[in-house]
Amino acid sequence: MDFSQISILFVVASAFALIARYFKQPLIVGYLFAGIFLNLTGIIKEPATLKSFSQIGVALLLFLLGLEVKLSEFSAIGKHALYVGVGQIFITSFIGILFCLVLGFSLSSSFFIAIALTFSSTIVLVKLLSEKKDLSSLYGRMAVGIMLIQDFFAIAALIFLTSQAGKMTTLQYFLLPLKFVILIFVVFYLSKKIIPFLFEKVAQNSSELLFVISISWALGFSALVAYPLGLSLEVGGFLAGLALSNLPENMQIGSRARPLKDFFLILFFLNLGMVFAFDRGVLGEIAFPALILSVFVLIGSPIIIMSLMGILGYKKRTSFLTGISIAQISEFSLILVAIAQGMGKLSDTVVSLVLLVGIITMTTSTYAIMHAEKLFKAISSFLNIFERKNVKERALLKKSLLSKHIILIGCHRTGSAIARFLIKKSVEFVIVDFDPKVYAKMSADGVAVVLGDVSDPEILEAANAENSKMIISTISNLEDDMYILEYIRKLEDKPATIFTATSKSDAMNLYQKGATFVLLPEMLAGEYIRNLLRGNQFNKQNLIKSGKFYYERVIVSKQSI
């Protein structure tokens, strides 16, 4: 593959990526269509070279995953996300296998397809929820927690499946887990005793050298594990990252390696698109199964999530929004089937099927996530079956006890300082927050708390907003804040409102909607620094004294809530 061929690859990839961005679709979809286009036109003369390059992308992806693995993340997920995530994986896999068997696929193919249907796209979820500013919402946190569980299972699946390439004897099957366990111990020893010393001595004070050595380690270790030891590049990449995960420089390594990984992963998705069998016979064979499996992912997966969350006591809105957020298959799914094809376990037809399901579910779920609230309102009455009568996610507060009070929405950072002030002044107030930890902490301190998402219509009602004298929102989420103002607009006796905004345009929107007062933290920070400089007259010693004073305030603030 010469320079002109590589240039064509990236020109075509860029063009289709721009089209995908225009239609607000994940870039992965654009790269897959670019690969299909290249396959149809026959421009690329040496696809085998492209496949070799794409393997580097997968190895680097697993390297970065190993680099970022933290067992402590399991404790941060929360037990409910853990229960739902594990339950979803096993239920989806089981039902997926049954569907595939009914559709006429072999048991082996059914197993691979079902596993591919199980995992959801972290790229799609995080991107869209970030755009909606919903990552910190209750359903956003639950969805991200489920994704984290899926990522761990996906890594395990890739390690297990890619370690079985070729025909293996009974003895080799027995030795396989033994090899892996020995490798884990070797990696653990290297990460504790040798690698920190080498990186400190060799790569000290040179970020470029740190990057080069890290990539050399990742690819060299992957090759060692794949060829002499007989495992796979993916296993080697993951273990190479795991060995560096305890280094102080691990975040720097990750940030430098990520663009290189993205570069080679683009080649992977182009190569995968070129595998797509785009002839009438194959399309006719896979069209119906692809439609059935896509419907299963788009509708069945949310139903499974809603059922599990309903059992755990979540309200139907939270369950629905969580379920709709993971209604697509993952980039891991595509990697999985591509590796299985390379091992000779899947045909091109099955890979084309999963690829088509990926395109359908990623494109459809993008619009579903962006318009999830409208979808929920349209079908809300049909979702009562997924909500228990005595839900745990409820407003844990007696509404009749509240009157002429202040409602504080959000009790992190800014909200915690306001809560301390209101407690000190003995002001009657209620906190609205979706974090169970905030509920437990503030309830123990005798503060009234409504546990839930403020965008849920029942939450403001439970906080008795119609009888409140003031609502203070510190969440800086325009959509939620606009909903609060819309709710207040219908009240006869409207409370005063204070909001925080992240931009001038958001502040203007809130004022136009009827907000009493809107704070822009960046503007306030600029004004405060100006006054600080004026008061201290640019004197270094005075600034040091002021800095120590505010340092003590930060420490007190961190310890109190």
Is 3.40.50.1400 the CATH classification of the domain at 404-518? no
With helix as H, strand as E and coil as C, how does 119-187 read? CCCHHHHHHHHHHCCCCCCHHHHHHHHHHHHHHHHHHHHHHHHHCCCCCCCHHHHHHHHHHHHHHHHHH
The pTM (predicted TM-score) of the whole model is: 0.73
Would you list the DSSP string of 268-312? HHHHHHHHS--SHHHHHHHHHHHHHHHHIIIIIHHHHHHHHHHHT
Q: What is the pLDDT of residue 69?
A: 67
Structural domain boundaries in the chain: 1-382, 404-518
Q: What is the pLDDT of residue 180?
A: 74
With helix as H, strand as E and coil as C, how does 19-75 read? HHHHCCCCHHHHHHHHHHHHHHHCCCCCHHHHHHHHHHHHHHHHHHHHHHCCCCHHH
Distance CA 470, CA 468 (A): 6
Question: How far, in Å, are 404, 451, 469 from residue 430 at the CA level?
Answer: 11, 11, 12
The DSSP letter of residue 190 is I
β-strands 406-409, 517-519: how paired?
unpaired
Q: Which two tokens stand for residue 418?
A: 């306001």
Q: Is the CB of residue 438 less than 8 Å from the CB of residue 449?
A: yes
Distance CA 237, CA 207 (A): 21
Distance CA 431, CA 396 (A): 11
Q: Which residues contact 507 (CB under 8 A, 6 or more apart)?
A: 501, 518, 520
Best CA proximity match to 143, nearest among 70, 92, 80, 68: 80
End-to-end CA distance of the chain: 60
Element (H, E) at 386: none
Element (H, E) at 248: none
Distance CA 214, CA 240 (A): 9
Q: What is the pLDDT of residue 479?
A: 84
Question: How far, in Å, are 423, 467, 509 from residue 513 at the CA level?
Answer: 30, 20, 6
Best CA proximity match to 532, nearest among 518, 545, 551: 545
Would you list the DSSP string of 414-437? HHHHHHHHHHHTT--EEEEES-HH
1-382 adopts what CATH topology?
Answer: Na+/H+ antiporter like fold (1.20.1530)
Residue at 38: amino acid letter = L
Distance CA 454, CA 460 (A): 7
Q: Over its length of 561 residues, how does the chain's per-residue pLDDT go in tens digits?
A: 678 888 999 999 999 999 998 988 888 889 989 998 988 888 887 777 787 788 888 888 888 888 876 655 555 557 888 899 999 999 999 999 999 999 999 999 999 999 999 999 877 887 788 777 777 677 888 888 898 888 888 877 876 776 555 555 666 666 666 777 788 888 888 888 888 888 877 766 677 888 888 999 999 998 888 777 767 777 788 889 888 988 888 888 888 888 898 888 888 888 888 877 666 677 888 999 999 999 999 999 999 999 999 998 888 888 999 999 999 998 889 888 888 888 888 888 899 999 999 999 999 998 899 888 889 989 988 998 988 766 655 544 444 467 889 999 998 878 988 998 999 998 999 999 887 778 878 888 888 888 877 877 778 888 889 999 999 999 888 888 999 999 999 898 999 999 999 889 999 999 999 999 999 988 888 888 888 888 766 777 888 888 888 777 777 665 555
Distance CA 338, CA 165 (A): 13
Distance CA 286, CA 257 (A): 37
